[in-house]
Every structure is written in structure tokens, then in C-alpha cells.
Amino acid sequence: MRYDVLIISDEQEHFKNFKQYASKIIKNINITLSFECEDVNDALEYTDLLIIDINVHNYFNPLEFYLERNIHTIFLVDYDLHLEKYSIIKEENILYKPLDLDKLILKIKYYTNLVDTNSVLKKEEEFSNSIINNIDYPIFSLANEKVIFSNDHFFKLLNCFSLEEINNKYKNITDIFEKEDGCITNFDNKIFEECENKNIKVCIKSNDTKKYFSLQKILLTHNNTSIMILHDISHEIEHKHELYKLLYTDNLTKFPNRAKLIEELQTNNLVLEAVCLLNINSFKEVNDFFGHKVGDSILIDVAKLINDKIKKSGDHIKLYKFPSDNYCITNTKDSQEDFIELIKNIVESVYKKVFIFELYEIDIRITAGISFSNKNNKLITADIALQSAKKDHKDYLVFYDELDKFQEYENNMLWTKKLKSAFINDNIEVYFQPLVNNRTLKVDKYECLVRLIDEDGKVVAPYFFLDISKKSNQYTKLTKIVLEKSFQKFEHLPFEFSVNISYEDIENPDFLDFIKELLNKYNVENRAVFEILEDESIKNYNLLISFVDEVKSLGCKVAIDDFGSGYSNFEHLLKMNIDYLKIDASLIKNIAINENSYKITKTIIEFAKNLNLKTIAEFVENEEIFNIVRKLGADYSQGYFFSAPMSIPNVMEYNENGDKNHE
């Protein structure tokens, strides 16, 4: 850095060699000598240090002129000069004549060092201010809870034009910041210490719009002060709010959803005294008939109607929109009678209201399940009450302990898990029970029965897992495994064999194709018998008849299982081209002790003979039962009197006396 020194003196001879002498001692110095300088005022503009002979200053300007210029000045003074009239000059600014040039050099060194220090500080401050003013963020500084510095962005943010206006508008620094969840408003020393290491979130209202910022503290070294930088994170916060809405708000009705209720229960320690689940009856039919646009409109209108009803009850009642056509009302106040009356009123109001969409007038009914139980999760017990109400065709039902099926649910989950494991480990096996020809007393056929081998190697009967397989959508997979293993087993055995299938299997579009694939793979088409359980699950007899005709055309046979169990459609049965009727076990096991069982069994056998159908009596447990069914004319017998189900088919032959001989 260069230092400009201006020397004004009439002692030309004295300073003639000073310029050269000084430049050797002090680097980066530029000395200008002025003896008759008329442009001294212009020269002062570029001067860092002025050395002037007090005897000649009036030649140029009054003394005050130089002192007011804020330039470091050294006055050269005669020893005998009376300085009383120059009292404004400080002693440290005086050098006496005759002049000692080395003392002058020291003075110049002192002031040039001072100029150097001040210049660095000044330039540092200018540099800092330049950076601060060019940062595109609101910046401010505080002292004693007042703003002592602000850049233009902070002024604009607060809609102010001066520090005085900011401090008048906001009596305390905390007044600048809005109270919002997750935002800091109390700016004490601890907060400032925290924001030195990490950003903290604040909210400021600007032109009636709330904006969110992260606050960062930066320490400035040149004057030991700190500035606060605000980084706008409003977009980020807005994005989080949008995600929050998507996660916790039903998109159609705009009411809080199930996830929101679960979140409140988990994080807000929400305690519910009552829960009600509501479901629109037969809503799928509305969607299918009128279309989803009408269905959506109804979902919205029902939500509004429910909300209008609960608003009158107080803040302790709240509505949530659950998935599909379900709603949930919660109550945090212990008022059971009032809550039940509210639900009854809602159900009745929905029933009375005619929902209009364009030209359609649609009547809607809803069913409600209510729970006050503390025994288990109220959402679960309310759902149990809702399902029970639907099953019993009631408008609403309050949960009571007799409805509790948690033990059943636990059992279902256990066997669902066991089934999954059995599929993975190939532990679904087929056992075989022989059917004896009542005329020849020889084994003509086998029924294939499914078994599950559990992790301990225990053989488990289908009683424990067959219904569970249907509830868990694993039944069709189970049927296919039994079919393939049965076909494989009897491909090289000279017996007919029967496999149980249900209407659910037949409904499956690819089930018949699967059978055809198996018949192509295994040569058993003239020995395979499909036992179909005829019960109330059958919705389409034409589909059933078509399936029977199809498998018969492939060379297989068909039996109707559990015939006479209380659900037999004789009209449709007559249309089916079946081969066997299996008389229900409940009739056969009581045939020796119950007259009605005997009469019904006799009627079935005679009915079958008239249709040229063979009959099979299952559950033949003892010789007495066997003799009765044989005498009545049943063609085949099956039961523990002959053999329990076995893991490998075996040939058994019976003589006329019923004695068992093994081949």
C-alpha cells in the first residue's frame, strides 16, 4: 500500500535531500514537497499525512482548515514560538525546529503505521458491508433486544425503511416473530448460542403472509459483533404441509383420514371414550349402477351431513373419513347415552335424505358399529360391532363382550402362518381313505383327503385349516396341490379316486384349464372323480352344470358330496349329469338310532336308483351301520369301520362275513 506525504515549508534547502533519504528508510512512501503550491487544496484530497510549517500555513489556509480535513497532521514549530494562540494543536502533533530529520522519520513511521491499521480496518469494514449488502437474504444484528443493523432485504421483509422505524414498530425482538409450531420466538442467549452451530426455524409475517426462515448466526471478527442471516424455507415448509395433507387428509372429502387418527393416538396421547364406525350399505351397487362420479358425490355429501350433525355436539366429537365408503366418529368425552343418540340421529338423517346428483335421486342407508369397550382397541371392537350389525341387519350395534372374537382371530392368524409355511416347505400332503363296494366287499375307490404336516411333523386334519385357507385366499392353491399330488399318485394304480372341489374353485376362470393340463400330464381321466359340495355358496347353477358337462366330456366322473345335509336343490340336481351321490355323514352316523335319519337315507338311495346314480355312505363307523346301509341298497361304504385315511393307498379285500384280509 502506498502512503502519500505532503510537506509544506519555505525551508527548501532543509528538505532538498529529505525525499530521497526518507524513501530509503520507509517503503511505499510518496513525498510531495510544496513551497509555493497554489493547488494545495487539491493535493490534500490524496494525502494520508500532512507536514506543514506553522509559519507558512496562513499563506495557504487557516489552521482550522487542516484540522477539519481529518488528515493526520504534523506541525513544524520554532522553539521560541508562543503556542497559546495555537491551543487547538495537540502536543503529539508538534515537532520543533531546528528540525531533526530522524525524529521526523519516526513521526512519519508512526502515522503511516496508524494509517495502515485504520486503512485495513476501514477496508475490512467496507468489504464486510459490501458482502452483507450483496447477500440475497434478510440480515440483521441485535444489541439489547434492539435491531442495530439491517440490510435492504430485512427492511423490505418488515416493510420498514429505517432502524428507528423497526425498533418503534417492534418494541421487543420477539414481536417480530410469529408463534408457530416448531418455530422459535424467545430469543435469549441460549437460543443465540444454539443457532451458532445449527439453524433454527422462525416465522415472520410479511404483508399479511407468513414466511418461514432458518436463522443462522455469524460472528464478525473485526468488531466482535454477530449478524443473523434468514434463509427463506417457506417453499420447503409449504411442501411439507402439502405432504402432510396428502398423508393425513382424505383427498375426496378433505376430512382427516385414518392415518391422521392413528397418528393422533400415537403422538398426542389422545384418549378416546367412544368410537363409531359407519359404512354405507351396498355402496358398490351405487358405484356400479350410477358410476364413480355419482359415488364420489355421495361420499362427499354423506361426510358433510355427518359433520353438520356432530358440529352441534362440541369439540370432543370429531369425524374422520376412512377408506372406501367408511367413516369414523370419535368421542373424547364420557357421555355414552348422548353419543348413542347422536349416532342414531345420523343414521336416521342419512336414511331420510334423498341424495340428488343431476337427474338421479338416490336413497342411501348406513350401518354403525359403536364401542365404549376398554377391553381392546376401540377401532377393532367398533368394527366387530359394525360387522355384527350388518350381519343381523341392524342400523347400529354397540359392542358387547359376547361379540369378542379375538381368540378366533388369533387362531386364524396362527393357521394362516402355518399354511404359508406348509406351502413354502411342501408340507401339504394327501391321505387316502378306501371306499368299499357293498356288493363285492372289495376296495373299488379311494377318496383323496388333504393333510398338513406341521413343523413338529404332526399330521393335521383339514378341520383346523380348511376354512382359514378360504378366508386367507389360499384355498384354490390348496386344491391345486391336492389335485396334482392325487393325479400323480393314481396314474399307475387301478383304482378310481375322488378329489374334493368347491364352487369357489369352479368360479375360478383358470381352474378348468388347470384340470385339462393335469389330465394331459397324467393318464387318469377315466378314473378321476370330482366331488362337489352342493351348498348355499352356489350362486350360478348354470356355471356348475357347464363345469360338470365339461369334465365329463374329458372322461372324468362327478359326485355330489354331503347330499341330504339340508341344502339340496333337486331341480338343478336333475339337470346335472352326475355319477355319484355321497350321503351326508350326519345321516349315516345316526341311522341306527334315529328314525328320521333312516327314512331320509332310504329315500335318497331310492331317489338315486331312479336316476341311475350310485350312492356312497360315508362315516360308516361300525358293523351295525354298515349292515343297515348295505341292506338299504347303498352302493359303497366309507368310514373307520374299514380304514382310517392312510398316507399310501393299500388294497383291502372283504369277504362276505366282513372279515378283513390283506392282499
Cα of 91 vs its chain's centroid, Å: 80
From residue 407, alpha-carbon distances to 119, 403, 413, 474, 535 in Å are 86, 11, 10, 21, 28
Output the 3-class SS for 1-41. Answer: CCEEEEEECCCHHHHCCHHHHHHHHCCCEEEEEECCCCCHH
pLDDT confidence bin for 663, thresholds 50/70/90: very low
Place of cell 381313505: 433
Domains of the chain in start order, with CATH, are: 3-129 (3.40.50.2300), 135-238 (3.30.450.20), 249-404 (3.30.70.270), 411-662 (3.20.20.450)
The predicted model gives 323-338 an average pLDDT of 92
pTM of the model: 0.47
Query: Which cell goes with 490?
Result: 393314481
Cα of 231 vs its chain's centroid, Å: 29
Phi, psi for 549 (deg, rounded to 5): -60, -40
The confidence score (pLDDT) of residue 351 equals 92
pLDDT confidence bin for 409, thresholds 50/70/90: low
Give pLDDT tens digits for 451-463: 999 888 899 888 8
The confidence score (pLDDT) of residue 607 equals 87
The confidence score (pLDDT) of residue 132 equals 63
From residue 58, alpha-carbon distances to 55, 79, 475, 528, 533 in Å are 7, 19, 118, 135, 131
The predicted model gives 271-286 an average pLDDT of 91
pLDDT at 288 over 90: no
The confidence score (pLDDT) of residue 527 equals 93
pLDDT confidence bin for 654, thresholds 50/70/90: very low
pLDDT at 426 over 80: yes
**Which of the residue ranges 26-35, 355-364, 615-624 has the most confident prediction, judged by mean pLDDT?**
615-624
The confidence score (pLDDT) of residue 445 equals 93
**Which of the residue ranges 131-135, 234-238, 610-614, 623-627 has the most confident prediction, judged by mean pLDDT?**
623-627
Residue 99 gets which letter from DSSP? Answer: P
pLDDT at 298 over 60: yes
The confidence score (pLDDT) of residue 28 equals 72
Place of cell 366322473: 557
What average pLDDT is seen over the chain?
82
pLDDT at 550 over 50: yes
Q: For residues 219 and 168, which has the higher predicted lDDT (pLDDT)?
A: 168
pLDDT confidence bin for 141, thresholds 50/70/90: confident
Region class of 501: left (phi > 0), else alpha (psi between -120 and 50), else beta: beta
The predicted model gives 435-456 an average pLDDT of 92
Give pLDDT tens digits for 345-401: 999 999 999 888 877 788 899 999 999 988 778 888 899 899 889 988 999 999 887
The confidence score (pLDDT) of residue 33 equals 75
Neighbours of 629 (CB within 10 A): 28
